[in-house]
Amino acid sequence: MIVMKFGGTSTQDAPAIANVVEIIKAHLHQKPIVVVSAIAQATNMLEKIGKFAADKNDREARETLTQLFSRHFTIIDQLIRHITRNRNLRSVLDAMREEIETIIKGVTILRELTPRTLDTLYSYGELLSSRIVSVALQDHGIQSEWIDTKDFMFTDENFNRATPYLDIIEEKLKSNLLHLVNNGVVPVTQGFIGITLSGRRTTMGRESSDYSAAIIGAALDVDDIQIWTDVDGVLTADPAVVPDAKKVKTLSFKEAYELSYFGAKVLHPNTMLPAIEKSIPIHIYNSRRPQSTGTLVTAALPSTSGVLKSIAYKRNITLISISPQKRIGQYIFWEHIQNVFTKHGITILASVTAEYGYSIAAEEKQTTQALLQDLNDVGIVSINEKKCIISVLGSSITQNPGVLNRIFGSISDFNINMISFGASQFSINIVLEDGDALEAVREIHSELFGEVFTDDIFEVLDQQKKK
């Protein structure tokens, strides 16, 4: 049994979904369970619809809704040839559209888009795409059943970033899904969305469909979790920034976790957690080039001590520095600061301390007024906005003599605000000006990976060789 997750770009239009059907067909012997994201941009459009409605901009909300549905109807008409199937699917979509219209009315009246309502709105993206993919499989002669996550993906009530209840999910999946798969049926379900015990839709954070796939994979102890996306695997940098990035053939779970934590969008960081528990390999494949071998993320790797594998970056970072008002005990000062960060749920990307100073790098969107107010009670706070954090990832990084020289030599023209090195064996983190982010990633990449050729770890991609 395997899980195959297809992201938004893999299902963005009718040809893309037809391609997904072919890919699934080629894996039928492995008993796939299919997890899909919303079609490209659908989640953003649903969010816009909600915001327009909350702003009483009913016309824009409806126009965006019309665009969203016309994209889905176009896909259906180009893809589903069987007349009854086509008609039935259209009426399923009509019903969903009516439900969304009712939500828009409610939000417009209340002029408020709560996290709970936003999750209900978000859920339609994956509900729509998964319905279409399931019927597309049937239309191509493959037995498929559409499975609603409301029957198994139970979570807490933390809307917009819900935590799944893994034990309940495992029990439900085993009783609801196993017999289908064993009878040759391909279940198609949704990534990203879950359900509370009282039946309210939740989501597990933007981009979390990869995580959903891993949860399902671990619950059913599958042989492989496959993430099908629009790139050849994990590369030495984001190919949108560094066009000649090389493919990394294998990564450990820990390397992949840190890489995604520090901004590589190709995998949601949580994806690795359920996979580690059950030691299930994760493959990242390109749905546009299904013949390519992808990247394998696994526990069983030969030691690659000291090898640098990739560069990640995050933009819109804020540096927060705090020093005490008066000289209280150092440990008491730190405890106060940590309490504030814990209270506000701040994800600290990097931190440095001096005798009486503490600086952290956090995402700008987490740096709220409420946080700053609480920090002001603890000490003197200074804020530096518009930074980025660049992370160089690998294993046993401190065992790589000269690596710091090479990295800092390549970005000697840039203003460095903070460095974090040594706390983790897997990453070196550097905070720079936000405007320098892309150029600095390219410079570091050219220094570290410019000369890397195909070997046991890296692969120069075919499309680059032709250049």
Which C-beta is closer to ligand ADP: that of 154 or that of 257? 257
**Phi and psi for 352 in degrees, rounded to 5?**
-135, 150
Q: Strand locations in 99-170, DSSP E?
A: 144-146, 154-155
Instruction: Determine contact, residues 361/319, Cβ cutoff 8 Å.
Output: yes
CB proximity list for 348: less than 8 A, separation 6 or greater: 341, 360, 361, 362
| DSSP three-state, residue 75 | helix
DSSP state of 375: H
Cβ-contact 69, 91 below 8 angstroms = no
Cβ proximity to ligand ASP, 266 vs 349, nearer residue:
266
Q: Which is nearer to ligand ASP, 174 or 265 (CB)?
A: 265
Are 3 and 35 in contact, with CB atoms under 8 Å apart? yes
The residue from 209, 226, 295, 410 that contacts ligand ASP (CB under 6 A) is 209
Q: At residue 243, what is the residue type?
A: P
- Of 7-15, 156-164, 286-294, 381-389, the segment contacting Mg ion by CB under 5 A is 7-15
- The nearer residue to ligand ASP, 7 or 324, going by C-beta atoms, is 7
Q: What is the DSSP letter of 164?
A: B
Question: Closer to ligand ASP at the Cβ: 227 or 375?
Answer: 227
Q: Counting every residue, how long is the chain?
A: 467
Interaction of residue 265 with ligand ADP, rule CB under 6 A: yes
One-letter amino acid at 45 equals M
CB nearer to ligand ASP: pick between 25 and 265: 265
Sign, Cα dihedral of 105, 106, 112, 114: negative
Q: Residue 165 has which token pair?
A: 């209840």
Q: Cβ(366)–Cβ(347) under 8 Å?
A: yes
Which residue, 42 or 375, is less far from ligand ADP as judged by CB? 42
Our CB check for ligand ADP shows the closer of 120 and 295 to be 295
Tell which positions 111-150 bind ligand ASP, by CB under 6 A.
125
For the chain, the 3-state helix, strand and coil shares in percent, each to the nearest 5, are 45, 25, 30
Nearer Cβ to Mg ion (139/207): 207
- Least separation in angstroms between residue 206's CB and Mg ion is 9
Tell me: does residue 191 bind ligand ASP (CB under 6 A).
yes
Residue with tokens 């996979």, as numbered in its chain: 275
Q: Is 208 near ligand ASP (CB under 6 A)?
A: yes
| Side-chain-side CA neighbours of residue 298 (13 Å) | 15
Residue closer to ligand ADP by CB (options 8, 324) is 8
Helix (H) or strand (E) holding 5: strand 2-6
Instruction: State how far the Cα of 301 lies from the Cα of 281, in Å rounded to an integer.
Output: 11
Interaction residues for ligand ASP, span 38-57 (CB under 6 A)? 38, 43
Q: Residue 429's binding partner, choosing from ligand ASP, Mg ion, ligand ADP, none, with beta-carbon cut-off 5 to 8 A by kind?
A: none
Q: How far is the CB of 266 from Mg ion (least distance, A)?
A: 7
Stretch of residues binding ligand ASP (CB under 6 A), selected from 66-74, 200-208, 384-392, 458-466: 200-208
Give the separation between CA 74 and CA 102, rounded to whole angstroms.
23
Interface of this chain with ligand ADP, residues 196 to 235, rule: CB under 6 A: 207, 229-231, 234-235
Residue tagged 């199937």 (tokens)? 85
Q: Does 16 bind ligand ASP (CB under 6 A)?
A: no
Given 7, 32, 50, 269, the residue binding ligand ADP (CB under 6 A) = 7
Q: Are 1 and 33 in contact (CB under 8 A)?
A: yes
The least CB distance from residue 427 to Mg ion, in Å, is: 21
**Which residues pair with residue 286 across a beta bridge?**
229
Q: Which stretch binds ligand ASP (CB under 6 A): 22-30, 112-120, 201-209, 421-429?
A: 201-209
**Taking CB within 5 to 8 Å according to partner kind, which of ligand ASP, Mg ion, ligand ADP, none is near residue 230?**
ligand ADP
Q: Residue 208's binding partner, choosing from Mg ion, ligand ASP, ligand ADP, none, with beta-carbon cut-off 5 to 8 A by kind?
A: ligand ASP
Q: Is 207 in the site for Mg ion (CB under 5 A)?
A: yes
The sign of the torsion formed by the CA atoms of 28, 138, 13, 41 equals negative
Closest CA to 239 of 229, 227, 225: 229
For residue 37, state whether it binds ligand ASP (rule: CB under 6 A): yes
State the binding partner of 234 from Mg ion, ligand ASP, ligand ADP, none, CB within 5 to 8 A by kind: ligand ADP
The single residue among 90, 206, 278, 336 that binds ligand ASP, judged by CB under 6 A, is 206
**Footprint on this chain of ligand ADP (rule: CB under 6 A):** 7-10, 37, 207, 229-231, 234-235, 237-240, 264-266, 310
**Footprint on this chain of ligand ASP (rule: CB under 6 A):** 7-8, 37-38, 43, 125, 191-192, 206-209
**Footprint on this chain of Mg ion (rule: CB under 5 A):** 7, 207
